[in-house]
Structure 1
Amino acid sequence: MSTLIKSSRRDFLKIAGTSVGGLVIGFNWFSCDSPKVEVLSTEEILAQAKSFNSYLSISPSGDVVIYSPNPELGQNIKTSFPMVVAEELDADWGKVRVVQANLDTEKYERQLTGGSGAMPHSWERLRKAGATAKFVLVAAAAKTWNVPAGEITVDKGVISHNASGKSGHFGEFVAEAATITAPEEVALKDKKDFKIIGTPVKNVDAMEMYTGKPLYGLDFYREGMKHAMVQRAPFGMKIKSVDESAAKAVAGITDVVTFGTSVAVVGTSTWPLMKAKKLLKVEYEADGNVESTSDHDRIFADLMANGKAETKRADGNVNQAFKNAAKVVVAEYQCPFLAHSPMEPENFFAHVQGDKCELIGPTQTPDRARQSAADILGIPKENITVQITRLGGGFGRRLRADYAEEAVHISKAIAGPVKVTWSREDELTGGAYRPAVRYRFEAALDADNRMVGYKLKGVGMNAGNSTRENNFPSGAVDHVLIESVNYESSVTTNAWRAPITNFLAYAEQSFLDEVALEAGKDPVEFRLELLNRAKSNPVGELGYDVDRMIAVTKEVAEKSKWGQDPNVKQGLSVYFSHRSYVAQVADIEMQGGTPVLKKITAVTDCGMVVNPIGANHQVRGGIVDGMGHAMYTNLTFENGVPKQKNYDSYRLIRLKEVPEIETHFLDSGFDPTGLGEPALPPTGGAIANAIFAATGRRLRSQPFIEQKEFSDINLEIRRA
């Protein structure tokens, strides 16, 4: 059965073409209105890519050009989006070309990358784009051949009428198709008929990446532009005085620019800039709280005990449940600040020319960069263009526009084009970090060892709501109290891959294992018992799909052979975030008295998998990221300055430390949901629970290697 989707004629606009022109299907992926478009040849389309963005275009040669609006930072959206369009179009993937769109807020409502929301938001719109183009092409062929459209088939870019033996590729019908009115309703394929979606397709930028062709912001160069590097004030401080004389004396330095709490050195290349920056003599003074990690420990303790908490959820009578409890389990978990550490440090190009500005660089939120530039310059944002390069990682760091703002300030000051480049030290010391958070959990067990009461209190640094109050086990417990306390720290924070849940999942899942132990129940069975209670008798609002969570839990137990080998100690973690469900089991074996992490098995329900290659990479990458930061990484502060300034002291996971990873996907029948983030949150909990199973040591803080309990364990990670 096909799915019938209704749309307005305003969704799809066409203008008649000539015999030498191509067909452009004007399609707005993020709203119901599409702007007026022109029909151009393929060469003209490529030459004027900035003005077309997210349009599906077909040339007389039969080549299909798809403009992808969302920034690509490794989540594979630049490949998977076009796959969806090409599927409904029945295009020949070998003749599809993909072009990164520039910013255009008249065409897009959500031209950003964040929250693992791009595919869920655009799935139906992408399908409609391909299906509508296919409809008018088929209608054009039917009119040309004078045959019924219902007798025509399309496969790999070829339109055929079997009864007459006639066939032709897309390009032969683009001129006629441009004269046909788009339908208000268009039939979409039955998912069982998909030929491209669900098949492994390599990254459309793979060849450029392999051969080192310019793709990233760091690759960008324009003749005549200056380079700049910036010295930023410690957190909580402002500039008191600047002595720039020594820096200006360095050969190749053309300007020193002071703005806000920053000082920029400008020159002909980055090498003299690095030298000159070290010669700046900047004196700072306090401008608020100048914090150290020791302050944060004290603040956490005080706010956990005395902080005014905001109640996020209250079910039943928690006080009575704990008063009548046969057992009460209490534990606190804490995580540190973390840097985002993208492979490509921040960089951005700006050219301010009077009341106009050109921006080019890697950004997850191009419109935020444009609006920031407009605010700085006092000009209409419509006078600012933003060209999006491929991002060498982001993980939430490039949701901010601070580095683009720096380029705008400097370009305005020097009245010329400039590219700002951050060093690795800049990235770690001048960034915006994952908030530090502390959680206190309490669970009440009745005489039958049923969890009848649950409390969670979160205290976060600039975390806002540090809880996810409607996530499991909420809804499965009769009496629940969830509270949040926020502390406004002078340390700049930002969304970090899987915001909040990146640590909350570890803490929650570790605590549930503690409760299962006190209840004398197997960790898998304990969770399934709670989930079945949520299914049969839910309490309050459920922020998750119980059946999908049960399914991944049972599947990971089966795939990991849970509890079958007495020589393998296992830890379970199952979590819902960003619309998807991921369950993981970590395997540890004792070798010569040392626990060795051998394997992590993951089962993911992200709805339909568009591209198995991309999906597999996302899950594996999330696991490695989650494991590395849970075990090794810490960022501490002294007087507003991070103590870890480069990778010699800021510890990241190493290749040899990555265990075997086995991935599985469940098709629950749902449309695609998020996948860039959901595999990260469960990993820390799976490993910590496996460590406890093997050693009896409970790890309640990250990173693991800095905990006394862990140093006694001496865990090793050996690749299979």
Structure 2
Amino acid sequence: MAAIGRRRFLGYVVAAPTLVAAAELGLAPVAEAGQPVAEAGQLLDLNDLMTAAALPTSGLITVEVNPDGTVSFALPRAEVGQGITTSTAMLIAEELAVPLDRVRVTLADARPELVFNQLTGGSNTTFATYTPIRVAAAVARLRLLAAAAAELGVAAKDLTLKDGLISGIDIGDLAAKAASARTRQVAVELAPRQSFTVIGRPHNRIDALDAVTGRKKFTMDLDVPNAKPTMVCRPPTINGKVGSVANLAEVGAMPGVTDVMVISTGVAVRAETFGQCVDAVRALRVSWRPGTAEGKSDESVLRALRAAELPIGLRPPTPVVEATFTFHFRGNSALEPNCAIADVRSDRAEIWSSLKSPIVAQQSIAAKLGLPPGKVTVHVTEGGGSFGRKLFFDAALEAAEVSQKIGKPVKLMWHRADDSRQGRAHPMATSRVRASYLGGTVLSYQQRHTSVATDLSHGLGEIITAMAARLPVGDIGFSQTFFHLSTAMPYDFGVGGQLLGETDRSFNTGSMRNVYSPDVTCARELITDRLASRMGQDPYRFRHRVLRDDRSRAVLAKVAEAGAWGRSMPAGCAQGIAFHAEYKSVSAALVEIDCRPETVGRPIRDGVTGPRVTKVVFAVDVGLAVNPRGLEAQMMGGITDGIALALTSSLHLRDGHFLEASWDNYFYTRQWNTPLELEIIIMPSASDQPGGAGELGVAASMAAVACAYGRATGTMPTSFPINHGTLSFTPKPTIPPIPPSPTDGLSEEI
């Protein structure tokens, strides 16, 4: 066989009655000219690690051509609104030359044989699956052409394949003829970029119509026989436990209630309707034992973080810029609350939920139920948002426990307040930065990021362990490895380094979109502004000068040009600019903010309005953008996240519990604070490979908002979100109410 070239790969025709094709096991994407490269000094990143871990099982993911002319693909990732079912369908449509509406992308059930190939996170889906999916589709194309050539008695090269027809024959009519009685290895050539008609062109989402017309099925929309609404009465403090229940029988006799029982996380109620569940939960009189964060508050956690800070070294003799930044607890704030359906029998179980780590969920549920993993079927449903939250499967575990205890199917949903108060919080953290300089040169940059421990037990820790031999950082623990593989210094700032320290495992934590990068980048960009000021340089021109590569400088220059950097603005208003790189992609944001007291917006407290972001220009270079329209939507969402993290969104911790209970007091970006002017610029690229994009919009936008605020007010912000210090709402009571704090009624300052 001839040597495999840049666009030539090995794949398999799988033994099956109809045409099924797969990529070769262990297929590695072949580097192309112009492929995005890692940032200078970063030889390997988290996306590379996840992709390498997924490759050995890539051949187990198949594309199937059906007799009706449709093409099926079960995607081993979770669609939670990011649009990966659309981009995946585009890859198949390109290689098979079929209309996009004939590609059926579903979500695969938990498949333990995929090992590390079924975890959604790290902006990795398109990056990792781009080549294997195309290779599988190309194998199918090759087989269909061969079958058509035999049918028509002509050479395959003389046939045309367009819109699902091969010289007039529908591919569905060839599906059985193109099938193979045994699995065979074949070589295929992928379509060259210059011939693309689908990839790289903007497309609407394939699920958009169903989503806006209510036909799209989320977990709570599924009709599983006899699965009745179920909710849980939860403790007033984080991870509290049930001591006793005074009125279990009384609540069990309430209208519609079928079952009430104590479970590991509280008291579960199953009823005919969710309204009846809510009434029953509120009626329960539970005596609770203390939780793991008993008595803790923002202030006490902050003291612990400062005490755990890693040393930063002796202060150099040259001038320095130094500051410590605080980032408070935050919630993922997904639109869909945590929910799951479970039907547990004595010898088997079936689970339905939106899960980004379904294999780990299957293993954990099996262990909890005392069943072999093979007896637990886990169906992955589409989710209404995640932002990291659905890497954990708390609702599925609870649903399984309840269903096993009562012997009936359940449809379990968390109350909106449950996730704010008992869910997975993004850890509180501090970041201390010291940069030394002399003249116009930065000599060193040191950053010590200290965080409440991040729980990585959703499967990423196992990937890091399995791939440890490939890591350039040595055995330094899951979180530290994650930190080093996802954060990097894009500027020529001399010697130094960034280190992570962790403390306090008493909280339920999880990753929020972009994990460490928004906080780390925000601190770095604020210090970069301060360095530019000390050196008497313009913030944009200083960054442009010290960025390490032309690609990074290009996105920064583009936002400066498109956003008219340096234009005159009224007092109290300013521009901010910031840069961020991750997973073979680069981005830059220019933000304009209005901090004048008379700014029009929703009052935050006592008629005082908050800063308003009035304009954002955002530029990205992700290499090959599979679906530019989907990429633009991802950046819009990331920008909104960045504004929230900088200005408004946080959880207040008091006496071992969070005060926020829903979106009326968890201040995600509101319509009044959404920029009236928003421009997303997708940079042209000659690359044949996509970079990561799912989280790319957050860090640069958060940092640019912070920098704009500092320039508008004349004071560099050091605590985020900026409005966290003022409690602007009356906390809703817990169930049962928590005794008043000694400070209640004295001050609303947290």
TM over 0.5: yes
Shift of 1:575: 0.4
Among 151, 155, 163, the alignment partner of 2:162 is: 155
CA distance in 2, matches of 1:29, 1:227: 45
Among 294, 299, 315, the alignment partner of 1:294 is: 299
CA distance in 1, matches of 2:109, 2:291: 38
**Within the alignment, does 1:349 sit opposite 2:349 as a pair?**
no
CA distance in 2, matches of 1:596, 1:273: 40
Shift of 1:5: 2.8
Shift of 1:518: 1.0
Shift of 1:350: 0.7
Shift of 1:142: 1.7
**Residue identity matched to 1:285:** R
CA distance in 1, matches of 2:597, 2:394: 51
5+ long unaligned stretches in structure 2 = 29-58, 455-478, 600-610, 729-750
Shift of 1:284: 2.4
User: Which residue of structure 1 aligns with residue 198 of structure 2?
Assistant: 196
CA distance in 2, matches of 1:592, 1:412: 57
CA distance in 2, matches of 1:393, 1:455: 35
Is contact 2:23–2:133 with CA below 8 Å preserved after alignment? no
Among 69, 73, 86, the alignment partner of 1:79 is: 86
Among 417, 422, 425, the alignment partner of 1:430 is: 422
Is contact 2:115–2:359 with CA below 8 Å preserved after alignment? no
CA distance in 2, matches of 1:548, 1:580: 9
Residue deviations 1:17-43, cap 9 Å, x none? Answer: 4xxxxx33143698679xxxxxxxxxx
Residues 129-168 of structure 1 correspond to what in structure 2 (within 5 A)?
129-160=136-167, 167-168=168-169
CA distance in 2, matches of 1:491, 1:422: 18
Distance 1:492 1:504, change over 3 A: same
User: Which residue of structure 2 aligns with residue 249 of structure 1?
Assistant: 253
CA distance in 2, matches of 1:32, 1:455: 39
CA distance in 1, matches of 2:362, 2:316: 56
User: Which residue of structure 2 aligns with residue 688 of structure 1?
Assistant: 706
CA distance in 1, matches of 2:448, 2:654: 27
Distance 1:55 1:108, change over 3 A: farther
**Residue identity matched to 2:7:** L
Shift of 1:707: 5.6
CA distance in 1, matches of 2:136, 2:645: 40
CA distance in 1, matches of 2:204, 2:24: 23
CA distance in 1, matches of 2:141, 2:26: 21
Residue deviations 1:34-54, cap 9 Å, x none? Answer: xxxxxxxxxxxxxxxxxx995
Deviates more, 1:113-122 or 1:175-184: 175-184
Shift of 1:585: 0.4
Distance 1:707 1:248, change over 3 A: closer
Among 583, 591, 612, the alignment partner of 2:588 is: 583
Shift of 1:282: 2.0
CA distance in 1, matches of 2:612, 2:391: 37
Residue deviations 1:48-88, cap 9 Å, x none? Answer: xxxx9954232334333333332110110111111101101
Is contact 1:622–1:680 with CA below 8 Å preserved after alignment? yes
CA distance in 2, matches of 1:68, 1:288: 38
User: Which residue of structure 2 aligns with residue 329 of structure 1?
Assistant: 321
Residue deviations 1:309-363, cap 9 Å, x none? Answer: 6x9xxxxxx75xx5331x1111111111111111110110111111210001211
**Within the alignment, does 1:623 sit opposite 2:639 as a pair?**
yes
**Residue identity matched to 1:633:** S
User: Which residue of structure 2 aligns with residue 552 of structure 1?
Assistant: 555
5+ long unaligned stretches in structure 1 = 18-22, 34-51, 161-166, 312-317, 533-545, 711-720
User: Which residue of structure 2 aligns with residue 185 of structure 1?
Assistant: 187
**Within the alignment, does 1:450 sit opposite 2:444 as a pair?**
no
Distance 1:68 1:323, change over 3 A: closer
CA distance in 2, matches of 1:29, 1:666: 33
Among 670, 675, 685, the alignment partner of 1:668 is: 685
CA distance in 2, matches of 1:208, 1:87: 23
Among 657, 676, 679, the alignment partner of 2:697 is: 679
**Residue identity matched to 2:363:** Q
**Within the alignment, does 1:259 sit opposite 2:266 as a pair?**
no
Shift of 1:398: 0.9
Distance 1:441 1:592, change over 3 A: closer
Is contact 2:325–2:431 with CA below 8 Å preserved after alignment? yes
What is the DSSP-based 3-state SS (H/G/I as helix, E as strand, rest coil) of the residue aligned with 2:113?
Answer: coil
User: Which residue of structure 2 aligns with residue 598 of structure 1?
Assistant: 614
User: Which residue of structure 2 aligns with residue 209 of structure 1?
Assistant: 211
CA distance in 1, matches of 2:108, 2:23: 12
What is the DSSP-based 3-state SS (H/G/I as helix, E as strand, rest coil) of the residue aligned with 2:111?
Answer: coil
Residues 436-515 of structure 1 correspond to what in structure 2 (within 5 A)?
436-446=428-438, 448-463=439-454, 464-465=479-480, 468=484, 471-473=487-489, 476-515=492-531
Residue deviations 1:584-613, cap 9 Å, x none? Answer: 001246889757632100001111111122
**Residue identity matched to 2:447:** L
CA distance in 1, matches of 2:371, 2:684: 49
Normalization by structure 2: what TM-score?
0.81
**Within the alignment, does 1:376 sit opposite 2:381 as a pair?**
no
Residue deviations 1:384-406, cap 9 Å, x none? Answer: 11111110111111111211110
CA distance in 1, matches of 2:110, 2:201: 30
User: Which residue of structure 1 aligns with residue 119 of structure 2?
Assistant: 112
User: Which residue of structure 1 aligns with residue 737 of structure 2?
Assistant: none
Shift of 1:139: 1.1
Shift of 1:470: 7.8
Identity of aligned residues (%): 29
Among 61, 64, 68, the alignment partner of 2:71 is: 64
What is the DSSP-based 3-state SS (H/G/I as helix, E as strand, rest coil) of the residue aligned with 1:184?
Answer: strand
Shift of 1:695: 3.0
Distance 1:145 1:188, change over 3 A: same
**Residue identity matched to 2:298:** T
User: Which residue of structure 2 aligns with residue 658 of structure 1?
Assistant: 674
Shift of 1:423: 1.0
What is the DSSP-based 3-state SS (H/G/I as helix, E as strand, rest coil) of the residue aligned with 1:679?
Answer: helix
Cα root mean square deviation, aligned: 2.7
Is contact 1:53–1:67 with CA below 8 Å preserved after alignment? no
CA distance in 1, matches of 2:171, 2:389: 42
CA distance in 1, matches of 2:355, 2:185: 36
Deviates more, 1:67-76 or 1:563-572: 563-572
What is the DSSP-based 3-state SS (H/G/I as helix, E as strand, rest coil) of the residue aligned with 1:704?
Answer: coil
Is contact 1:54–1:101 with CA below 8 Å preserved after alignment? no
Q: Size of the alignment, in residue pairs? A: 650
